[in-house]
Structure 1
């Protein structure tokens, strides 16, 4: 299909409804992952709410601007794999301020990737098998959480897992939002409604909490670099591929620049990086949004408007997640990430020549290994690259006369 460079503006009811569904699914299916990740690196409930508010506004504005300027359905999302990375990294020296510094550096690296093509090519040069193994290792422990929860708190975990299975059988698109709703409903009845108490304490109106970012070695190497890699490899590159599948080929540079700058600017209020949507991008770019490709941009614009409104729910979302049993929230997050985990592991092990290096990356990343305050994601990628380089080294060329 030829690239769609220009398009006539237009709005259809179908595109508007698709945009609403896209925002609800994107937000509902991963907000627990995001809040869980923020809490893991030291965010308070107020700071997590501030982050959700900032990301809702940022996703909304960037999606609207990019879609209107390029007249294409360019969907923007937060970095769900990045949030999963935070959950596996845990607290770092310097607390949440150091995590914010890492978010800012990751956003800056995305800007550099847009301005300086060698950086983008360097990320692109990381073998897909290792990038997928890195993501799989990050997601493994979260994807085990539903089954740990089933053993530790069966009365809460079983209805959640059953909802995911049953709704997914008949309406896969709504399985994850339904699962989150059931989990939150169960929390309302659990032990006198602890979740409701936390919500009442936190209040309903969100606000931005400014925390000056700081830079730390552990944050830069353990969060910023892996966050940049997973954002590019698991969000931006697949997002462009999804758009191309439906004939839309926007220039990557302005997308990287705008999302990177937005992430850099909102890091002091706790916001994680924003990027191209990968999974939900197909909803707005595909024929379900509108049979006429030139009218599908309205779906992404509508989704952007919905993200702006959903940002107003950030205080309630952060409070409910923060007051819930951590294992149950991790279980909901794990169910939300099972699809991404399966796809990443399958892609990581597909190439026989890279399989050993991919397994090293996967296992090292999943091991929670930490040296010098640097988390396992960095060591997993480094270990996989070392194994791959050793395997590909041509010892026949190395000799006394070389």
Structure 2
């Protein structure tokens, strides 16, 4: 039996409704939230509809392909996605650069990511951070999603409450289908109450637009370098942490390297960067995807396939997802992340000597502070590491952990 035949046979045996649903929900959450930032950035850059559709195709297809290949390679739910902090950076810093200059900056950023990935520098850094601190950072990121479930109960009770009740009953009687049942109940409730927004949908295949890059020093320094930094520290570091917390201790080098290559190949078509996902990854790495961790890789493959399929229709897909009420998205994302949030909180407090440093990490992360254009999760990691070094009474520990391997 060939390698491909054996792999397909394994997928056929390991697939489950819960894993496929988790992969689909991860895509829904991505399209319903982070993609809206891309639209905002496109307006600031005055991109044409064709360029915007090409951008959506590039980030979606490259994310899906990278995630699918990595999930199949490592037999783990590795989820790739476009850089949300990178899109936020474009919103605030795109003025003054042409689109061609921006593409040149995207390529420069991607090359740096590939170098950091395959050189082992990023891997060496991640291995020096205690697991409790990483878990606390992840818990801080996910907390808002859990809280938003109950905020939605107040804002749209006739949609959110039935969803939550269905989730609890499903967890009791058929836990593998809890998230799928919750999604269906939300769509049914929103439809019956006429809460699904009317949208004009025109189904059309996307036509990728190639943009020849222009490399300018001001764009490389002002856009490319910051884009690489925020992608590595805000997304890839967190993505590795998500996998570790759920028991997937994968080598970071090929994970970062493959996403960097995906970014490099898709940049001329508008992609600002592909990285390891964090929030959407947690949907697929948790027990809601499958009770058996070794079978959750199917969720990663499903997520990748859905990304690639939906990428073909670009803005059409966004129009469909924009019809969903925000509360429906909040509830389905929140309940899908309950398991990961719980396990992260548990892991953060598991080791006695790491408790206070993990708490500092958690509090800084949920504070939402942003310094030097870098978000709270990174500063949570730094705060936790400094706290750990001080409380252990050996500040040299901190330098030993952060210093490059000789």
> Could you tell me the TM-score, scaled by structure 2's length?
0.69
Q: Mark the CA change 1:218 to 1:28 in structure 2 (over 3 Å): closer, same or farther.
A: same
Structure 1 CA distance for aligned equivalents of residues 135 and 125 of structure 2: 16
Q: Structure 1 pair 349/310, CA: closer, same or farther in 2 (3 Å)? A: same
Q: Is the 8 A contact 2:114 2:260 kept in 1?
A: yes
Partner of residue 239, structure 2? 231
How far is 1:273 from its partner? 2.1
Unaligned 5+ segments in structure 1 are: 1-5, 243-250, 290-295, 397-402
1:353 CA drift (Å): 1.2
Does the Cα contact within 8 Å between 1:92 and 1:218 map onto a contact in 2? no
Q: Match of 2:216? A: none
Q: In 2, are the aligned partners of 1:129 and 1:351 still within 8 Å (CA)? A: yes
Contact 2:108/2:224 (<8 A) preserved: no
Q: How many angstroms apart in 2 are the aligned matches of 1:114 and 1:73?
A: 20
Number of equivalences: 369
Shift of 1:150: 0.5
The alignment status of 1:150 with 2:149, answered yes or no, reads no
Counterpart-to-counterpart distance in 1, 2:259 and 2:367: 31
Q: Deviations over 1:36-60 (max 9, x none)?
A: 4414645359899867754553355
**CA separation of 1:308/1:92 partners in 2, compared to 1, >3 Å: closer, same or farther?**
closer
Q: Which residue number corresponds to residue 57 of structure 1?
A: 61
Which secondary structure does the structure 2 equivalent of 1:30 belong to?
A: helix
Task: Report which stretch shifted further, 6-15 or 331-340.
Answer: 6-15
Q: How does 1:130-209 map to 2 (within 5 A)?
A: 130-191=133-194, 193-194=196-197, 197-198=198-199, 200-201=200-201, 203=203, 205=205
Residue 347 of structure 1 and its aligned partner are, at CA, apart by 0.7
Residues 1:100 and 1:26: Cα distance change in structure 2 (over 3 Å): farther
SS of 2:259's equivalent in the other structure is: helix
Q: Which whole-Å deviations, capped at 9, do the CAs of 1:315-352 have from their partners, x for residues lacking one? A: 55532333433343223212221111111111111112
Residues in 2 aligned to 1:221 and 1:328: alpha-carbon distance in whole angstroms:
33
Using the alignment, how far apart are the partners of 2:239 and 2:263 within structure 1? 12
Tell me if structure 1 keeps the 8 A contact 2:24–2:302. no
C-alpha offsets along residues 1-45 of structure 1, whole Å, 9 cap, x if unaligned? xxxxx9694366673264474762233232233234414645359
Contact map agreement 1:102 1:224 (CA 8 A) in 2: no
Partner in structure 2 of residue 361 of structure 1: 361
Structure 1, 13-22 or 330-339: larger mean CA deviation: 13-22
Compute the RMSD of aligned alpha carbons: 4.8
Give 5+ residue unaligned stretches, structure 2. 43-48, 214-218, 397-406
| Residue aligning to 2:127 | 124
* Whole-angstrom distance in 2 between the partners of 1:48 and 1:172: 40
Helix, strand or coil for the counterpart of 1:93? Answer: helix
Report the alpha carbon displacement of residue 390 of structure 1 after superposing the two structures with TM.
1.5
